[in-house]
Structure 1
Amino acid sequence: MATKQITRFAPELHIPMGTHDIGFYLDFGAIEHFCFRNDDGSIHVAEMELDGATFHVHEINRSSNALEPISAMGVTTIIGLFVDDVDAVMQKAIQAGAIEINPARDYEYGYRQGMFKDPFGHYWQIQKKVE
């Protein structure tokens, strides 16, 4: 009997061509499942996992008209990540090299949220539903 595949969301975070170091994500606590590099050693694509959440870090592909935040000169998406301890995850990200955008706080709509920007310009909203 075949196991039913669970639908999961796996964002692809674009990085500039020629990027050699994605250590921020490892320092933040992600596990690298694989990393394919170009002939010059720069990263083509890496599959990462953060507490069961899979994401890919991929160099931009000009033929698909894709941009990363630095060349787009702005936010291209916000990655929402639900966690058990918003404050601990925010602190770990900042220690790994992220820049805090909004400190963690409780909102009237029932969420505790904080936001940071990673070294490639991607915004991450760290959140938890609070009772």
Structure 2
Amino acid sequence: MTLVRALVAAACSLLFPGVGHAVLREWVRALFFSGLFVTAIALSFSADQLAAMSSLEGTWTVVTEETSAVDRFVLASIALFTATDALFRGLGAIGRDDTEGPTCPHCGRPLDTDLEFCHWCTTRLEAVEPDSTS
């Protein structure tokens, strides 16, 4: 399930940077990458070009014919970096803290011992009986 979720997050980030991190429930990163991409679009295209992007055909025409190679490279780089980051975060390869205490068996993040579920991935947890030493 983790591999599928990571691949879905990466694919969503290729479509629009930030969406993949929202799938992973990493809200700060989702807002950061979305804001970065929107800012790059605002700096790359003029108001007339943005108005011409009202349809898929118009968007394709503007992106392929009316923008420079540098602008296309910057936008593609942001999307590719975001997708790569979402993939690795989804797989759990980076960004995991070595914390003391129990961790979720599904996502590996630290658990709140007062809850009966993981507040990160909402996996239902079985109650652990304390050891009775009599």
Normalised-by-shorter TM-score class? under 0.3
Greater helix fraction, Structure 1 or Structure 2 = 2
Greater strand fraction, Structure 1 or Structure 2 = 1
TM-score, length of structure 2 as denominator length:
0.26
Greater radius of gyration (CA): 2
TM-score, length of structure 1 as denominator length:
0.26
Structure with bigger RCO (C-alpha 8 Å, 6+ apart) = 2
